[in-house]
Amino acid sequence: MSKILVTGAAGFIGFHLSGKFLARGDRVVGLDNLNDYYDVNLKLDRLKQLEPVDGFRFARLDLSDRRDILSLFENEKFDYVVNLAAQAGVRHSITNPYSYIESNISGFINVLEGCRHNAVKHMVFASSSSVYGASTRMPFSVHDNVDHPVSLYAATKKSNELMAHTYSSLYGLPCTGLRFFTVYGPWGRPDMALFLFTKAIKEGRPIDVFNYGKMRRDFTYIDDIVNGVVKLIDHLPEPDPAWSGARHDPASSFAPYRIYNIGNNNPVDLETFIAVLENRLGKKAVKNLLPIQPGDIPATYADIDDLEREIGFRPSTTIEYGIGKFVEWYNQYYCRA
């Protein structure tokens, strides 16, 4: 049994991950600031599923509050930390840039400092497929350079990777960064396409389909993501003896540091995704076809060879099953008496 800090515990991935850790017998401190980026009631309802479980404690804190975060680390003495808290959203970062610096940069350094000074065994943190930016080389590989982000959100996630490597190098802090690929499923975020499409189709409103429906995404079901993270938490990164500064590998290091993609390894075009959703809803969508938005990536496709080789992880959930489970949850959650 370990004591694990999960930041962003009232968020989509953090909620599911906390439940998985608790189910295997770990103690979890779930941290969240419950901001209003999207419906706070949804976050509170997620927490209501966790709070009765033995071993869970909720801490309402903001990562950017240095004094409170460092105090939490000193008092709790965590074995492991999974940092999922961040200001999310590619498009939101274009109109609200400062919130990304406060949460994703200032907040992240506070987590690193807490880990450094309190003998945390392993810090796992959320990066994003958005760091691949302008790259068109498919599938996206962690061994390729990612120095051309096209949104501030992506830039902050790449910054997190660099900051974590610095602490791993200077202080020997084992750090693993995970580039998530379009996570979806029950209790998902209301700003994500599946949620927006479902709500609009059920209400008879048109859906906005960007890049004229020619987007391709490596949609990854939440259970697959959570299973991968749980396997990784106990898989501490080690220095790569073959690493060379002359021909360096961005995914590994001379320090205890690794970067992995965690995606479905099976990109699906948006038109197919919508067709599956229409089938599950039993209703056709009215499509408002629009050009690609600033900051968006036309396609994502995860190379997960490293993850499969090192921890035996390979997602297995089809979009038919995953979308079906989301629709089932959506109907139950929003049709309550």
Which of the residues are catalytic?
A: 153
d(CA 84, CA 12): 10
Longest alpha-carbon distance in the chain: 64
Q: Is 207 helix (H, G, I), strand (E, B) or coil?
A: strand
d(CA 308, CA 232): 11
Q: What does residue 306 show for φ and ψ, rounded to 5 degrees? A: -60, -45
Residue 175: partners with Cβ closer than 8 Å, 6 or more residues away? 122, 123, 124, 125, 164, 165, 167, 168, 237, 256, 257, 258
| Amino acid identity at 303 | D
Please name which of 263, 90, 95, 283 lies closest in space to residue 193, comparing C-alpha atoms. 90
282-312: b (≥16 Cβ within 10 Å) or e: eeebebeeeeeeebebebbbbbbbbbeeebe
Element (H, E) at 92: helix 92-95
Strand-strand pairing, 216-217 and 268-269: antiparallel
What's the full length of the chain, in residues? 337
Please name which of 310, 34, 299, 36 lies closest in space to residue 178, comparing C-alpha atoms. 310
Contact 166, 109 (CB under 8 A): no
| Percentage helix, strand, coil for the chain under 3-state DSSP, each rounded to 5 | 45, 15, 40
